[in-house]
Amino acid sequence: MRKKVQNSNFKTSLVPRLSSFVPRPSSLVPRPSSLVAILLLVLLPFLLFSQDQKPPAPPLLPFQQDAPPPQTDEQLALQLYQNQEFDKAAEIYQRLYDAKPSQYIYQYLFYSLVEMKDYGKAEKLIRRSQKNEPGSLRYAVDQGYVAYRSGNEEKAKKIYEEALKKLTANQQQITELANAFAIRSENEYAIKTYQLGRQLMNNSYPFGFELASVYERMGDFKNAMNEYLNLLEVNESYLNIVQERIQANLSYDVNNEKNESFRKALLSRVQREPDKSYYSELLWWYSIQQKDFDLALLQAKAIDRRMRENGDRLVQLASLAVSNEKYDVAIECYQYLVSKGAAFPNYKISRRELANTRYLKIIAEPSPDRKQLEILEKEFNDEIAFSPDDPENIVLIRNLAHIKGFYLGKQDEAVEILNKVIDLPGVVAADRAKCKIELADILLFTDDVWEATLLYQQAYQDFKFDALGQEAKFKNAKLSFYIGEFGWAKAQVDVLKAATSKFISNDAIALSLLIGENFDPDSNTVALGIYARADLLDYRNEEEKALVTLDSIPALFGYHPILQHVLYKKAEIKRKQGKYIEADSLYKQMEIQFPGEILADEALMQRAILNEKQLGNKKMAMTLYEELLDKYPASIFVPEARKQFRLLRGDTHPS
């Protein structure tokens, strides 16, 4: 195997430029008077100084400034080697080796001789070097390599086997011989060396990382993983390093074969040796990496019981599950922790978060069931009564108000409990502002527009330079849009385009474009007004009325720029109702009717997400993500689309 070495600093050519031998046109040849002038300029500084004064260096002429620095023999030999001029390279390397032997020069001289097929000289070089290092076995590998290159494969194998027989319980010697085999691409012999070395050293050093690396080079992932797992039995402290190595291996797994192989091997060890906590720890880590929350839950419970932990691991898992919308896993985590009793450290937080997670699960469902909402209402009331003075209850109260105001038709009760919290002394400013925003949302829901806008403005004034204030400002702008104040709404969202919150910024841009495309103070804005009315009806959970209102726009106007927004809004409403196939059809209709328009990329992205998560059509989702990447490379959805595409393809770390 040829060792590639590069030296980008070496620029000198061995052959003089032909242009230096080509006669110049007479017009370019300096006249005698010009030559004299040049000489005077060069020599003048020397003439002005006495003999005991050191004259300054003469200035470099243009052709001197461009000249490359002088090169060493080593640089020259390297370039010759890279140019495959092995005979010339060998000549220089031989001279350098004779003057000062080194392993670096030896390697290049050896390779040059082998490439020249001068096997006799190569063997002489090996014997000479061996005398200087009589205990080294790596030269035996070079001897075998010469035999192999000369066509005597049997002799090469015999030499390799003899080298293995000479191996002793010396870690440095074992590593050196294995590396020599690996350099020559004799991976099987490298593995034999490490395995024999492991026996000779009575497993005092297992060579696990080294063996795994060789297996990785061979593409033998299964054996590489076994070596990594075996290392944990030698020393549990290897766990973090093993995780890093496995993660690197699983990063590029297009067909998901490596992940499946590793999962099976690890599960087998956990089942076979349940008392070895490091396997459970590794499986817990792996399940989190894969976002396999069901498996993670099993491991978290097992580790918590075995290690008698205080539940922090399950709280962490529940938080991750909620952020990935795996609410059932989070609920089971909190139920497990609550079952441990009031004396348990995470009991109180688990009770509260159990109620909040149930709330998130129910409102995420299309058309939430009223009976479930009433059960949740009671649970919230019980939790608030359980610890009435706990400041953390503000989250529960806000969520309870949302259920009452938006789903149960108890707007007066929702307003009352929120006003009580807002008026309480000692409430954290951010919590008070959040309650004001929730209260404003409910008042807008009940058509109390002016009180709602006042509350949004108060929250904004309290947190002007915070994401919370930006949220309040956007909602106030949306309120203005609902009631037909399009110019004012656009002025507000234009400011919010630069919001620090990505979500607020994106929403502001979308609303600004919607108004900008369909609003002109001097023209008819009836279509935009109808759309705004439909949007408000959707906000108030009157989806069917919203759909009828949207359908009136094409009936009244025929073609209109707002029609792509009408289609998109209808798709959103159908999705909210759980009518996913109809929503998918509407998104697809947008692709056909409005290709390349402002909402085309967003419709394609939403359709891909819909197919992936709600319709369970992973293949179609991949196709749609890929289509977005191809058709709309400048879209803001490209990073997320690329990430989701890679996840569906099986990449462990898609970002």
Per-residue pLDDT tens over the stretch 393-415: 899 999 999 999 999 999 999 99
pLDDT the model gives residue 66: 55
Q: What is the pLDDT of residues 452-462, one digit of tens each?
A: 999 999 999 99
Lowest mean pLDDT among 202-206, 238-242, 574-578: 202-206
Give Cβ neighbours of residue 13 (< 8 Å, ≥ 6 apart): none
| 580-625 per-position pLDDT tens digit | 999 999 999 998 999 888 899 999 999 999 999 999 999 999 999 9
Q: Looking at residue 12, what is its pLDDT?
A: 33
Residue 352's pLDDT is: 93
Q: What is the pLDDT of residue 620?
A: 96
The CA-atom distances, in angstroms, between 413 and each of 45, 368, 379, 442 are 99, 20, 16, 11
Distance CA 512, CA 318 (A): 37
CA–CA separation, 279 vs 229, rounded Å?
8
Give residue 311's region: left, alpha or beta (phi > 0; psi -120 to 50).
left
Q: Measured on CA atoms in the order 606, 612, 615, 619, is the torsion positive or negative?
A: positive
Q: How confident is the model at residue 32 (pLDDT cuts 50, 70, 90)?
A: very low
The pLDDT assigned to 649 comes to 84
The predicted model gives 31-50 an average pLDDT of 37
pLDDT band at 392 (very low <50, low <70, confident <90, very high): confident
Structural tokens at position 543:
């989806």
Quote the CA–CA distance of 233 and 282 in Å, as a whole number: 13
Indicate the range of 50-54, 353-357, 381-385, 642-646 predicted with least confidence: 50-54
498 vs 359, higher pLDDT: 359
pLDDT score, position 521: 57
When mean pLDDT is compared across 309-313, 390-394, 523-527, the lowest value belongs to 523-527
| Higher-confidence position of 381 and 48 | 381
| Confidence class for position 502, pLDDT limits 50, 70, 90 | confident
pLDDT of amino acid 498: 83
Tokens found for residue 433: 């502002």
Residue 40 — pLDDT band, cuts 50, 70, 90? very low
The candidate with the shortest Cα–Cα distance to 349, out of 314, 400, 323, is 314
Percent of the chain with pLDDT over 70: 88
What b/e string do you get for 329-355 counting C-beta neighbours within 10 Å, with b at 16 or more?
bbbbbbebbbeeeeeeebbbbbbbbbb
- Binning pLDDT at 50, 70 and 90, where does residue 241 land? very high
The pair of three-digit structure tokens given for residue 620, joined into one six-digit string: 């179609």
Sign of the Cα torsion 141, 145, 146, 152 reads positive
On the question of pLDDT at 39 being above 90, the answer is no
Q: What is the spatial distance between Cα 406 and Cα 411, in angstroms, rounded to a whole number?
A: 8
Phi, psi of 520 (to 5 degrees): -140, 120
Count Cβ atoms below 10 Å from residue 54 Cβ, excluding itself.
6
pLDDT of residue 491: 94
52 confidence band (pLDDT: 50, 70, 90): very low
pLDDT digits (tens, 9 = 90+) for 411-437: 999 999 999 999 988 899 999 999 999
Q: pLDDT per residue over 150-204, tens digit each?
A: 999 999 999 999 999 999 999 999 999 999 999 999 999 999 999 999 999 998 8
541-553 mean pLDDT: 96
- How many Å apart are CA 10 and CA 15, to the nearest integer? 14
**Ranges of H-type helices in 339-409:** 347-364, 370-386, 393-406
Q: Whose structure tokens read 């690396």?
A: 213
Please, what is the average pLDDT of the chain? 86
Count of C-beta atoms within a 10 Å radius of residue 32: 7
pLDDT of residue 42: 37
Q: Which residue has the higher pLDDT, 1 or 363?
A: 363
Q: Is the pLDDT of residue 21 over 60?
A: no
Residue written as token pair 């929403």: 507
- In this structure, which amino acid lies at residue 20? S
Query: What digits encode the pLDDT tens for the residues 60-88?
Result: 444 445 545 547 898 998 999 999 999 99
Q: For residue 155, with 0-12 CB atoms within 10 Å meaning exposed, 13-18 middle and 19 or more buried, which class applies?
A: middle
The pLDDT assigned to 653 comes to: 54
Question: Between these two residues, 648 and 441, which has the higher pLDDT value?
Answer: 441
Asked whether residue 559 carries a pLDDT value surpassing 90, the answer given is no
pLDDT tens figures, 206-224: 999 999 999 999 989 999 9
Instruction: Give the pLDDT score at 469.
Output: 95
Residue 575 backbone phi and psi in degrees, to 5: -65, -45
Cα(380)–Cα(393) distance, rounded to whole angstroms? 9
| Residue 68, pLDDT score | 56
Residue 264 token pair:
């099976």
Report the pLDDT value the prediction gives residue 41, as an integer from 0 to 100. Answer: 36
CATH superfamily of 552-649: Tetratricopeptide repeat domain (1.25.40.10)
Higher confidence at residue 25 or residue 596?
596
Among 22-31, 110-119, 353-362, 636-645, the minimum mean pLDDT is found in 22-31
Q: Please, what sign has the CA dihedral across residues 428, 430, 433, 435?
A: negative
Q: Chain centroid to CA 573: how far?
A: 33
pLDDT of residue 65: 52
- Average pLDDT, stretch 500-516? 89
Instruction: Name residue 27's amino acid.
Output: S
